[in-house]
Amino acid sequence: MLPSSVARTSVAAASARTVVPSARRGVANYTVTAKSTYITKATEKDPYDYQSGFGNRFASEAIPGTLPNAQNSPQKLKYDLYAEGMTGTSFVAPRAESKTAWLYRLRPSVAHQGFTPLPDNPDLEHNFSTLNPRVHVSPTQLAWHPFELPSASTPVDFVGGLKTLCGSGDPTLREGVAYHVYAANTSMENSAFCNNDGHMLILPQQGRLDIQTEFGRLMVRPGELVVIQRGMRFKVVLPDGPSRGYISELFGSSYELPELGPLGTHGLANARDFESPVASFDVDQSGWEITYKVAGRLFLCKQEHTPFDVVAWHGKSVFYHLTSLFPARLPPSSLLTTMLPPSYVPYKYALEKFTNVGSISKDHIDPSIFCVLTAKSKTPHHALTELLIFSPRWDVASATFRPPVRLSPLPSTPHHRLCLLHTGKLTVMPQYYHRNSATEFMGLIYGEYGGRSDGFQPGSASYETGFCPHGVSYDEFKKATEGELKPRRIHEGTMAFMLESSLMLPLTDFAMKRSGKLHEHEPKMWDNLKAQFLNHLDEVNADLRAAGMPEVTLKEKDSA
């Protein structure tokens, strides 16, 4: 055993290819054969390699030959590693839904010193029953100015900076969702976090997140999402200083790609653009602290070794093929994948890679067409939550209600989706009047998005409960019904997102009382939406008479 004072060492997986010379009829030829599956390479802003795909069965080894061949738990592993199984679903889940992983590590997770309760974070909520006095309901539109970063004099890491805005359900029921924000100014040092309650979809808005997981490392910038699945331990370092962002925590089911239906085989978020880490392990036997979140409560676990010591890992059955009676030896590369049910691994996705789809003739497609990921509820065809994005695209529908480009100042309006401000030009987002059954939570990652006299800025958020009316002011309605329709680019330089849920999402004490950023709806913006129909009564009554129908008569106002 290495002494506790040993210097920390990190080792990550690598890959290679070979060039084999051959000869045919006196002509020199070369055959190039891949030694691994395709992986994305490190860049200046992202120093890590990734495996590509969504729903794959991945395998990765940081030291060649450490993955066992044709079995998961052999009697003895190379280098005396420990095998540790991890399941994200029940043992008997259908193959298409089963999520498991096997990790081969220096020391098993069970080597720890027990758990002790931590003080509750008053801004972190898990119980969204209306019987809970810490949650509230609101029928109106709400919005929040950008949430504050911690002061430089108060160190706050990722875990300490979690704050819940709204949610539904309860993690103990394995059904529900919670939407949080985080604000941190301190990296996690010799500490990690494990969320037993749900899968965390994280959207950084300011500052990159350098995330170390048991499966490897991910660098996540604003404009990317990362999903850390339930039960995975991870650590967050802030390479750019203070960081802020949004989180969707899913208590039930898991995030999936939406079905494409008549779109065919490609479009929206393509599976090949998702990235998962390669194996990377540390040799570190110093003291570590791991914070566990269980039913919203926090517990501390101490251990004398790093949790990030996984030398190799894989998803169940990755080695078996139709010819598995003669199991082939793993190639000396670090990676191997087959398209089978999904592994239980973290992953990230660059939202700029999203392929937008919309009408190229008339009318609007429902905003579900901008769905990146969805999560099923127990009610068929009703999502627990969906992530939609609004990114640069063309708007070309003819003979269609499309609020026009506008150069006037921002209106005093509560609805941040009314307009987009970019390089001095303001374009109104195409939007008809509507009342949706879904609850909508929206945020802005980068760019400038109008919506109030003070604008909707990066780091802001807004909320609308189900059936809350949406729509533009009368001035915008008038321009949209009378203006010239031309093809135009919208959302240039902007990345906004919406988290949509079929559930009612009560709001927390932090959202309604303590954030200091709440600003409510001003309904006077719609005062000019008069019944213009009444200006056409003569024409209306003429048409009614021609059809043999009774005329419209106006009821006189009560003078009292």
Q: What are 8's two structure tokens?
A: 């920390």
Q: Within this chain, do residues 293 and 395 fall inside the same structural domain, yes or no?
A: no
Q: Within this chain, do residues 133 and 41 fall inside the same structural domain, yes or no?
A: yes
Q: Is 277 exposed, middle or buried (0-12, 13-18, 19+ CB in 10 A)?
A: buried
Query: Which single residue is written with the structure tokens 């010379």?
Result: 21
- Is residue 295 situated within a structural domain? yes
Q: Within this chain, do residues 191 and 335 fall inside the same structural domain, yes or no?
A: yes
Contact 2, 300 (CB under 8 A): no
Q: Is 344 exposed, middle or buried (0-12, 13-18, 19+ CB in 10 A)?
A: buried
- Is residue 3 situated within a structural domain? no
Who contacts 318 (Cβ-Cβ below 8 Å, separation ≥6)? 57, 58, 59, 336, 337, 338, 340, 343
Output phi, psi for 173, to 5 deg: -95, -5
pLDDT at residue 559, rounded to an integer: 59
- H or E stretch including 389? strand 383-390
- Is residue 284 situated within a structural domain? yes
Q: What are 121's two structure tokens?
A: 């974070």
- Is residue 410 situated within a structural domain? yes
Residue 364 catalytic?
A: yes
Q: Is 94 exposed, middle or buried (0-12, 13-18, 19+ CB in 10 A)?
A: exposed
Q: Within this chain, do residues 279 and 151 fall inside the same structural domain, yes or no?
A: yes
Which of 364, 382, 415, 521 is catalytic? The answer is 364
DSSP codes, 86-100? EESS-TTS-TTT--E
pLDDT at residue 417, rounded to an integer: 37
- Is residue 251 situated within a structural domain? yes
- Is residue 21 situated within a structural domain? no
Q: Within this chain, do residues 373 and 311 fall inside the same structural domain, yes or no?
A: no
DSSP codes, 113-153? --EEE----TT------TTSTTEE--SS-EEEPPPPPPPTT
Q: What are 180's two structure tokens?
A: 């949080």
Domain encompassing residue 437: 355-534
Distance CA(87)–CA(121), nearest Å, equals 28
Task: Give, as one character, the DSSP assignment of residue 392.
Answer: S
Who contacts 311 (Cβ-Cβ below 8 Å, separation ≥6)? 11, 61, 62, 63, 66, 79, 81, 104, 105, 106, 279, 281
pLDDT at residue 20, rounded to an integer: 53
β-strand partners of 187: none
pLDDT averaged over consecutive 10-residue blocks of the chain (560 residues)?
Answer: 52 59 61 78 93 91 95 96 93 85 97 96 95 94 95 97 97 95 98 98 99 98 97 98 98 92 94 96 98 97 98 65 37 37 82 95 91 93 94 92 54 36 40 87 86 71 90 85 90 94 96 94 83 94 97 78
Q: What is the pTM for the complete model shown? A: 0.87
Helix (H, G, I), strand (E, B) or coil at 502: coil
Q: Within this chain, do residues 301 and 404 fall inside the same structural domain, yes or no?
A: no
Distance CA(519)–CA(511), nearest Å, equals 11
CB atoms within 10 A of CB 152: 9
Distance CA(551)–CA(542), nearest Å, equals 8
- Is residue 32 situated within a structural domain? no
Residue 449 is labelled as binding a ligand: yes
Query: Which single residue is written with the structure tokens 């839904």?
Result: 97
CB atoms within 10 A of CB 539: 9
CA torsion angle 400 403 404 408 (round to 10): 170
Contact 267, 357 (CB under 8 A): yes
β-strand partners of 387: 373, 499
- Is residue 84 situated within a structural domain? yes
Report the chain's C-alpha Rg in angstroms.
Answer: 27
Residue 434 is labelled as binding a ligand: yes
User: 213-258 pLDDT, tens per residue?
Assistant: 999 999 999 999 999 999 999 999 999 999 999 999 999 889 999 9
Q: Within this chain, do residues 497 and 512 fall inside the same structural domain, yes or no?
A: yes
Q: Within this chain, do residues 243 and 347 fall inside the same structural domain, yes or no?
A: yes
Q: Within this chain, do residues 344 and 432 fall inside the same structural domain, yes or no?
A: no
Contact 403, 429 (CB under 8 A): yes
Distance CA(370)–CA(372), nearest Å, equals 6
pLDDT at residue 450, rounded to an integer: 55
**CA nearest 537: which of 550, 513, 516, 553?**
553
Helix (H, G, I), strand (E, B) or coil at 275: strand
CATH number at residue 143: 2.60.120.10
Q: How many domains does the chain have?
A: 2
- H or E stretch including 509? helix 509-509
Task: Give, as one character, the DSSP assignment of residue 179.
Answer: E
pLDDT at residue 526, rounded to an integer: 85
DSSP codes, 337-350? -BSSSPPS--EEEE
pLDDT at residue 474, rounded to an integer: 86
Helix and strand tally (H, E) in the chain?
Answer: 3, 39
pLDDT at residue 27, rounded to an integer: 59
Q: Within this chain, do residues 58 and 189 fall inside the same structural domain, yes or no?
A: yes
pLDDT at residue 340, rounded to an integer: 36
Q: Within this chain, do residues 284 and 334 fall inside the same structural domain, yes or no?
A: yes
pLDDT at residue 23, rounded to an integer: 56
How are beta strands 100-105 and 495-501 bridged, if at all?
A: unpaired
Distance CA(520)–CA(414), nearest Å, equals 7
Contact 50, 60 (CB under 8 A): no
Residue 82 is labelled as binding a ligand: no
How are beta strands 461-464 and 439-446 bridged, if at all?
A: antiparallel
Q: Within this chain, do residues 47 and 171 fall inside the same structural domain, yes or no?
A: yes
